[in-house]
A and B are shown apart, each in its own frame.
Chain A
Amino acid sequence: MSDRYVPVQWNPNKWLYDAVLIACVAAYILIYLNLGNPAADVTRPADGAIVRMRAFGTCAFFMLTAILCIGPLARLDRRFLPLLYNRRHFGVITAVVAVTHSTYVLNWYFAFSPTPRLEALLGANTSYGQLLGFPFEAFGVFALIVLAILAATSHDFWLNFLTPPVWKRLHLMIYPAYAAVVAHVVLGYLQDTKNPAFALVFGAAALSVAGLHLAAHLKDGAARRAKGAWIPVARPQDISDSRARIVKMPDGRRAAVFRDGARIGAVSNACAHQNGPLGEGRVIDGCITCPWHGFQYRLEDGCSPPPFTEKVPTYDLRLQDGVIEIAAEANAPGTPVTPLDVPEASDV
């Protein structure tokens, strides 16, 4: 959290995350450069520039695969949440690796083109009407543009300026971009390679993205929208201390009902920073803490403690026949609501 913008918000965890990531990228590139050439088809040995191009291209693919696996993994198992913490830096490094791949492509295949290199790339193959020999480069160009947009809009300013939902919609372009990368590989390198190892590893990686998204979808699908002006949530003692129960509201939004000892309060489930799932976080020092990036909000008014200025909507609560009920309509962000006081809940 910060009350003013800085170029990059570093902390020891982010240093460690980025250091491990960059070390993994460097190790992958070095291993590929040493093993990639001997693994190439002996009838058509690859030039050094082509091996470097493939090293960065496959590295970008596996990095993008990892990025897309982190989200559903964190939903399926909380132990993966730390990977999600600095995913934006992961995305920026992936974009840099992908740009390096494209630079090798342009500077090798179009090095001596009489027309400008980009023009030659876009105009060399225009067989868009056929599948066999389809200009797979177009998929790569599309994915590269998307990665560039996502990397360029990764600063916290963009979240605040565009609003988290608009920013999220923009960043959902990662899905078509990944599909484009898969198409780029299967219509390009996979049509030509004689190396079965790459086909198997590539297929396993891409299908793991599909499988994890399906599993996360099935897990989330259990929640149904509630109906009525007041929605029953749970008995106070059924909510673990410092934890929340997430409720799907009639308007499609989600609310998080937290218990902090004997106090029970409810706020929007969407964090003001990146719309992270507040209800999957904990109450720490009296503040609801987002599991994604640690943004904090007071239970009684949904406001971040000073000097921070973030706010989330709050909800009215009532106790009816020993069951907590939540109002269907959200209050404006930062509206004070006296938490329910349920001393017997803290005795459990």
Chain B
Amino acid sequence: MESAQTLLMAGQVYVWIGLAVAVVFLGWGLDRIDAKGHGSWMFRPLLVPGVILIWPLVLWRWQVLARENDNLQNRHRPPLTTQRLMGLGLVLAIPVLIAGALLLRQDGPLERPAVMLETAAETSSNE
């Protein structure tokens, strides 16, 4: 339980920091790094959960864009190799997980399910 408490406490701290980053970024920072956001406010509440969840990534991208260090060519380098490797990982993981779990089961998943031979009413009338 202590580990669970520590984990949840760490999660709460992470969320509070994320909330603070969201207020500053969405209220002030976004307009300075993205022209498409100028004068557009309705979409910003939708971004709050995202900022809270990935605020370290938000801070990194914010400083890259604020310093105009963004390499435009990198926007056109999709991670195709990573995607293929992760897809292959899934191809291997799924059958291993399913076969492993069926082997682990103490009885097979295809045995005949239990069947109620008589209803509760019949049981009480027999007594």
Residues of A bordering B, CB below 8 Å: 2-8, 41-43, 68, 72, 115-116, 118-120, 122-123, 126, 131-132, 148-149, 152-153, 155, 157-158, 160-166, 168-170, 172, 175-176, 178-179, 182-183, 186-187, 190-191, 193-196, 199, 203, 206-207, 209-210, 213-214, 216-217, 220, 252-254, 268, 270, 272, 275, 309, 311-313, 330, 332-333
Contacts and interface: CB of A to CB of B under 8 A. Distances in A.
B119 to A, nearest CB: 10
A190 B105 contact: yes
A158 B83 CA distance: 19
A155 B46 contact: yes
18 contacts: A6-B40, A42-B113, A131-B100, A152-B52, A153-B53, A153-B54, A155-B46, A162-B61, A163-B61, A168-B78, A176-B86, A191-B104, A194-B114, A196-B113, A210-B94, A252-B80, A254-B80, A313-B76
A333 B38 CA distance: 23
A119 B4 CA distance: 6
Contact of B37 (A157, A182, A207, A220): A157
A279 B4 CA distance: 49
Contact of A220 (B4, B42, B79, B84): B84
A5 B84 CA distance: 32
Given A164-B75, A195-B113, A216-B87, A155 B47 contact: yes
A135 B3 CA distance: 14
Nearest to B93: A179
Given A182-B93, A191-B101, A41 B74 contact: no
B123 interface: no
Contact of A161 (B8, B46, B61, B93): B61
A309 B36 CA distance: 10
A270 B76 CA distance: 5
Contacts of B20: none
Contact of A7 (B8, B42, B75, B84): B42
Chain A at the B interface: SS class = helix
A148 B49 contact: yes
A164 B78 contact: yes
Interface string B83-115: 110111111011101101110111001110111
Given A186-B101, A270-B75, 10 more contacts: A152-B53, A158-B50, A161-B33, A190-B105, A191-B105, A206-B98, A209-B90, A210-B94, A254-B80, A272-B75
B98 A152 contact: no
A218 to B, nearest CB: 11
Contact of A207 (B52, B95, B105, B109): B95
B124 interface: no
A122 B90 CA distance: 26
Which of B61, B78, B84 gathers most chain A CB within 10 Å? B78
A123 B57 CA distance: 30
B39 A333 contact: no
